[in-house]
Structure 1
Amino acid sequence: MQPIISISNLSKTYASGFQALKGVDLDIRRGEIFALLGPNGAGKTTLISIICGIVNASTGTVTADGHDIVADYRAARSKIGLVPQELHTDSFESVWATVTFSRGLFGKRANPAHIEKVLRDLSLWDKKDSKIMTLSGGMKRRVMIAKALSHEPDILFLDEPTAGVDVELRRDMWEMVRGLRATGVTIILTTHYIEEAEDMADRIGVISGGELILVEEKAELMRKLGRKQLTLQLQAALPALPPELAAYKLELSADGTELTYSYDTRGERTGITALLQDLGDLNIRFKDLSTRQSSLEDIFVDLVSTRR
């Protein structure tokens, strides 16, 4: 099947000399949820902005549903809905008016029934006559999503959609995304939250320093990135690790009072159960325990270092 977005040798260098993107090649499959992960400054927003026609590329080509974003920009742009990181809309307009106007910008005929459905799905219907300036930050975020969906796009970009939003909005948003995906809409989201990508995405791309360093199916990538640590606070200090525990990836703190077990999510249940059983057999007691999952920063350090 032809990809709905095709990116070839895409680069962007700003007038200051900063190279935000370096030869990015990427195909987005029709109907998938694709998560683009990366730290601040990695190039996520620049990549999205180029595809959406906000920023001009220095080199390379992009097509959206077969339409070149430069040569056939009107057709390409009509296929795309964008929810940007920043909240920007007309503060003095009503919710209904601003969402309806956004649909008209794409040359779409008025469709009050569609606008009503979008507002209801985003729990905005009771705010339809309210001015944007009177809304909370979470409600303004919902309006941005409604605007992006007003013209019924086939491709939806969500740029850090849950940054700084409440739990209720996050839940509603992912429910809406799943519903859109079920109707065939392709979703591309950028996020700092590994758990969101793990929960929502079909495939995951990792971008760092303007380079797309890895693209894989979610299950395979999360297998590689799903490292965790179990830390046990021991009741009595150990002078050294017993040889009976050599099969585990264990680290003993300098004072011998803390034992750390590193494992991946596949071996979580069996590995921890076996370790605790062996500790009991050796009469090694603990008074407290805690778990920690690799942060996105940890993952990036590992990914980048292995490719140098």
Structure 2
Amino acid sequence: MASTAPQIAAQMPTEWRDFFALTKPRVMTLVIFTAICGVLAAPGTIHPIIGFTAILAIAMGAGGSAVLNMWWEADIDAGMKRTRSRPLPGGRMRREDARDFGIFLSGVSVVLMGLAVGWLAAALLLGAIIYYAVIYTMWLKPRTPQNIVIGGGAGAFPPLIGWVAVTGEITAMPILLFAIIFFWTPPHFWALALFVQSDYAKVGIPMLPVVAGEKATRRQIMAYTVLLAPIAIAPWWIGGTGWIYGSCAVVLSALFLILAVPVFTRMREETDTMQPEKALFKFSIVYLFVLFAALVADRVAAYQGWPA
């Protein structure tokens, strides 16, 4: 859906910090981290320079798609309290400059990945960019409350691409890493959406709490948390990891479930501070970081010959 609000004109000088902010650096941290974990956990070896180039290309691709997301949604961001200070709604940059910057980053990232690493990894990177910038941002997000479910695939690509950069093939393990992030995204994002739903309602974005209500959202959070647990443990079950990852996956998934229960069983009160929802959202970030760190630790342990 094309933007219908008036164009936001740049009224203040643009700085390099504004271009950097367009890449969503906080989100980029998680993207880069999971991509690095995919590279380090994959069987086989990769030259450090090639490995660094793969991570750089993934970071550029993720940054480029984030810039295109902000370019397309500048009018929406202007109407939301938590996003209205971004460079475009804040009037610090022309929308055309943001669009061109996003296209440049995205294009260079794919070409760099293809030439330096491999064309299968480059094709996956291109797919991730199109998935986020076009399928999710332009098509799904303004049209369906299931936008986060289907769009979650965009954020699930980095470890898959990192793994393929090393091995040159798609196997069960990288698919499971993709699936972990895919099923993690709905409870992570809907927990956030529960306490910022008024922002989405104000700008007409059909997030699940807005169109289906809190009760349905809480049920969905619980359902996806339950589905996530066996998927997170699956790499251990199939023998792709050892006890370090396996034990972390079990403990972390149990904690995730424990924190999801109060979110599922309660309803918001008038003066509610939404502490269970905020706690679940914050833990979900820790969950993914620790789970993927355990994946790398497991690989290091295997390399050192420690007991599996």
Q: TM-score range by the shorter chain?
A: under 0.3
TM-score if structure 2 supplies the norm length? Answer: 0.25
Q: Which has the larger radius of gyration?
A: 1
- Which structure shows the bigger proportion of residues in strand conformation? 1
Greater per-residue helix proportion: 2
